[in-house]
Amino acid sequence: MVAIDQNGLASDPVSVDVVVTPRSGDGDLYLRKGTFTIDWKAHAAGTDADAFAAQGNLNLAGLEGLAGAVFELSVNGTSLGAVTLDGRGRGSGSVSGAASKVTLSARNGAFSFTYKSGDLRDVLGLANVTEAGETELAIAVSVTSAGLDTPTSTARAGFAYTTVQDDAINGSFAFLTGTLSSGVFFAAKTSVAQSPDGSHKVQVKGYLAVPGGGDLVPAGDVLVMIGDRDLDLPPESLGVAKGVLGVAKGAVPALPGFALDTVRRKFKIVTALLDGTSVPPAGEPATAHDLLVRVVIPTAGELLVLETTVEILRKTPDATKWKR
């Protein structure tokens, strides 16, 4: 077993020597898809007609409101636009002739960003030749003046492209199939239900990408943390099949559902009724609560930490159900 301290790090390796890998968490951007175009023909005619688009989701824990918030997307360190949002999470702007448009949902953090009529030649650094290949882009999305706990998220995504010399180059990325050297651990849907005895059942589903890729093969106990409650998964309770790390049926009564799918890039965690999660019971005044979800996996020579903090919400202080 590997002992874990309060920060999710190995404190006293007992049976496995490990080093901590970079975490996958709320600072990692869930980029669902992206596209770009460099129009060589338009540039030759003296017109900037390049384009970039991205869609994904952000963790909105801490959100105070979208009115007046500033959404900015950068590629390879260059801003493609900083747009001030209205109360509905919409906005548009223009810099040096290039137009940017943004939508951001306060409900689930879904965003859409478009950039048109600009010049991306220096930003992308691709040659005007006929070829096909892949280029890794460093993408950063920030939302400021909104109170977010994690205002900036980043990704390093491989965009496949084809180009015809003196015509155009088109590139694209899709989360399910694209190359991604950064990690992702994003909770897309979370629900918490309180039982009459005050315990809670928690269900979290979302998107997963392991830094560097590959299957998850534990070399020791896996630790799952739901709020303040720790669940220990010994090796004999676990199995790996077709890229999915899961728990054998009935092996861990407190965790009837657990699957980390590195092929389909998704995860699911379902608990039985748990005490000690730190979720406020019905009757306490809080209608928002930060729920930590962390998975610590010792692998051969590494300790992988996947974590996110989900701000769950309920309608009234007396409600027994939370969701995000």
Collapsing DSSP to helix, strand or coil, 219 comes out as coil
Neighbours of 69 (CB within 10 A): 25
Structural domains in the chain? Answer: 2-25+183-323 (no CATH), 30-180 (2.60.40)
Longest dimension (CA), the chain: 72
Distance CA 279, CA 229 (A): 10
Is residue 300 within 8 Å of residue 219, measured between CB atoms?
yes
Strands 302-313 and 19-20: parallel
Is residue 205 within 8 Å of residue 189, measured between CB atoms?
yes
- Tokens 């950068």 found at: 74
CA angle, 172 then 175 then 176, to 5°? 115
CA angle, 257 then 261 then 264, to 5°? 130
Distance CA 219, CA 267 (A): 20
Instruction: Look at the pTM and tell me if it is higher than 0.85.
Output: yes
Q: What is the pLDDT of residue 214?
A: 75
Is residue 27 within 8 Å of residue 153, measured between CB atoms?
yes
Q: What is the pLDDT of residue 23?
A: 67
Neighbours of 59 (CB within 10 A): 25
Task: Pick the closest to residue 270 from 187, 197, 212 (CA basis).
Answer: 187
- Rounded to 5 degrees, φ, ψ at 13 are -60, 130
Q: DSSP letters along 122-175, please?
A: HHH---SSSEEEEEEEEEEEEEESS--SS-EEEEEEEEEEEEETTTEEEEEEET
Distance CA 94, CA 75 (A): 17
Q: What is the pLDDT of residue 7?
A: 46
Q: What is the pLDDT of residue 134?
A: 98
pLDDT, tens digit only, all 324 positions of the chain: 444 444 444 444 434 444 455 468 899 999 999 999 999 999 999 999 999 999 999 999 999 999 999 999 999 999 999 999 999 999 999 988 899 999 999 999 999 999 999 999 999 999 999 999 999 999 999 999 999 999 999 999 999 999 999 999 999 999 999 999 999 999 999 999 999 999 999 999 999 998 877 788 999 999 999 999 999 999 999 999 999 999 999 999 999 999 999 999 999 999 999 999 999 999 999 999 999 999 999 988 788 999 999 999 999 999 999 999
Q: What is the pLDDT of residue 211?
A: 81
Q: What is the pLDDT of residue 70?
A: 98
Q: What is the pLDDT of residue 265?
A: 96
Q: DSSP letters along 253-303, please?
A: TT-SEEEEETTTTEEEEE--SBS---PPPTTSS-SEEEEEEEEEEEETTEE
Collapsing DSSP to helix, strand or coil, 181 comes out as coil
Token representation of residue 141: 């999305």
Task: Report the phi/psi class of residue 235: left, alpha or beta, with left for phi > 0 and alpha for psi in -120 to 50.
Answer: alpha
Strands 30-39 and 321-323: unpaired
Is residue 168 within 8 Å of residue 39, measured between CB atoms?
yes
Collapsing DSSP to helix, strand or coil, 236 comes out as helix
- Bridge partners (DSSP) of residue 12 are 3
Token representation of residue 197: 């005895």
Q: What is the pLDDT of residue 22?
A: 44
Neighbours of 17 (CB within 10 A): 12
